Amino acid sequence: MKFKSVNPTNTEAWKKLKAHFAEIKDVHMMDFFYQEPDRNEQYKIKWDEIQFDYSKNRINRKTLELLNELANEVGLKQAIQLQLEGYNINLTEDRAVLHTALRDFDQMKPEVKKSLQKMKAFSNSVIKGKWKGFSNKAITDVVNIGIGGSDLGPKMVVNALQYYSNHLKVHFVSNVDGDHVAEILKSLNRETTLFVIVSKTFTTQETLANATTIKNWFLKDASQLDIEKHFVAVSSNIENAVNYGITEDNIFPMWDWVGGRFSLWSSVGLSICCAVGYSNFEDLLKGAHEMDLHFKDEEFTNNIPVLMGLISIWYNNFYNCETEAVIPYNQYLEKFVPYLQQAVMESNGKEIDRNGIPVNYQTGAIVWGNVGTNSQHAFFQLLHQGTKTIPIDFIGFKEPLHGNQYQHKLLMANFYGQSESLLKGTYQQNISNIYRTFKGNKPSNSLLINQLTPKNLGSLIALYEHKLFVQGVIWNIFSYDQWGVELGKKNANKILNS
């Protein structure tokens, strides 16, 4: 079985959406609020510990009906089913796309269960000081060596869950820039550092270059026999890892049906387990699985990732918005946007459709942003008074982790105030200074979450995974290959060897 391969612009729903867009494109959102007095509540979904408010968008009930019609016409429901049931939906690589299977504890694959047990035992041993280095000292530092999905995902989660961290210091080496790895090594003690080499194929140029530099540094004051106490690998290529010097017992599995940018839920999350403990890692998985069930079972009209995907299509393909901003009002999520950039732009940056035909419409929104309130003093001027329409996702939390209620109240006042200001501007106010006028009518979604916990973080990440899947299905592209990444590697190797 495979997806329907439908050029969305040829559907009846698309034609209706074009006509509808012509009718409402110049309507101010404030007029929608006047027309629908209960809009605040009607355009809001409360699910588990997440509240999704999409009332501040340039849409009305007819827009939503037509977007839902589009989703049905391109076969979104069937596509969701095919992905979650493990069909080879990634046809260009003849692979299934089953990162969701990594977090389904009810129907978990035996190999995934075995891997989780190994991760639990290993991380517990390191955290409790039972895993000793070559001089019989406990581990104090863990270094994750990877790039792309082998770096961005675990780094983002470790950073986001700092509040739940233990005594271990976790570092990340990714860039092939030698200065990057040199700075990390300056603070490390060979006797108490554990290195996790993460490479699916164990051939990734940047990762192996960094790993080799680190191994040579380690061997200056240690022997080859000591490597097994300080180096482990996450890879599907056991032979290459063993040849590199990693003992087979120290290799954690990866699978062909898990794409790199969706792999933090797998053994790639080993550094997360070390940083925050296995139980918190498991909560992360369970939160993601709960969002998977919501995505699979909920009607599209009440389905948060589906609505986010459809609204994004509306702006990208009808308003011609090329970018989307994501603004988390939480410093712990400072790595969230870089993570999303890979997840979204590596997935949907495609110009050939599933029929092998160049697309005649825009795909792949550009994702950017930063944490609030920092971003308010950087690029919000453009959001408020610039000439571009940039849809925004605001992410906030009801409760702080450290209990500083005054500063959290100040933070959340900005969270609410910015979305309201972007909506209203100085609409119908008598402002005499033209330079201080604001048109408003700038669209945004708001995601309000009870508190930043491992479980809620898992749900949030999975939400964006499913959103990009919805976009890819409607754009009729293959979201799970990344041939553009491969081309750059080939050309770099040619130059290196010339």
Which sequence positions are flagged as catalytic? 346, 377, 489
Residue 52: strand, helix, or coil: strand
Q: What six digits make up the tokens of 259?
A: 């794409």
Torsion of CA 427, 428, 430, 432, to 10 degrees: 50
Q: What six digits make up the tokens of 338?
A: 């870089």
**CA 404 to centroid of chain Cα atoms:** 28
Residue 72: strand, helix, or coil: helix
Helical pair 454-475 and 61-73, crossing angle rounded to 10 deg: 70
One-letter amino acid at 406 equals Y
Question: Is the Cα dihedral 174, 178, 180, 183 positive or negative?
Answer: positive
The rounded distance, in Å, linking the Cα atoms of 300 and 100 is 19
Residue 276: strand, helix, or coil: helix
Closest CA to 306 of 67, 81, 51, 475: 67
Where residue 177 falls (left for φ over 0; alpha for ψ -120 to 50; beta otherwise) is beta
The rounded distance, in Å, linking the Cα atoms of 328 and 461 is 13
Q: What six digits make up the tokens of 218?
A: 């380690």
In this structure, what are the phi and psi dihedrals at residue 251, rounded to the nearest 5 degrees? -110, 125
Alpha helices by DSSP H, 262-345: 270-276, 278-297, 304-317, 336-341
The rounded distance, in Å, linking the Cα atoms of 402 and 84 is 38
The rounded distance, in Å, linking the Cα atoms of 311 and 325 is 14
Q: What is the CA radius of gyration of the chain?
A: 24
The rounded distance, in Å, linking the Cα atoms of 309 and 241 is 39
Strand partners, 397: 449
**CA 150 to centroid of chain Cα atoms:** 13
The DSSP string of 335-363 is THHHHHHIIIIIHH---B-TTS-B-SS--
Q: Which residue has the tokens 């308010």?
A: 376
The rounded distance, in Å, linking the Cα atoms of 337 and 96 is 26
Q: Which residues contact 351 (CB under 8 A, 6 or more apart)?
A: 358, 359, 363
The rounded distance, in Å, linking the Cα atoms of 432 and 106 is 63
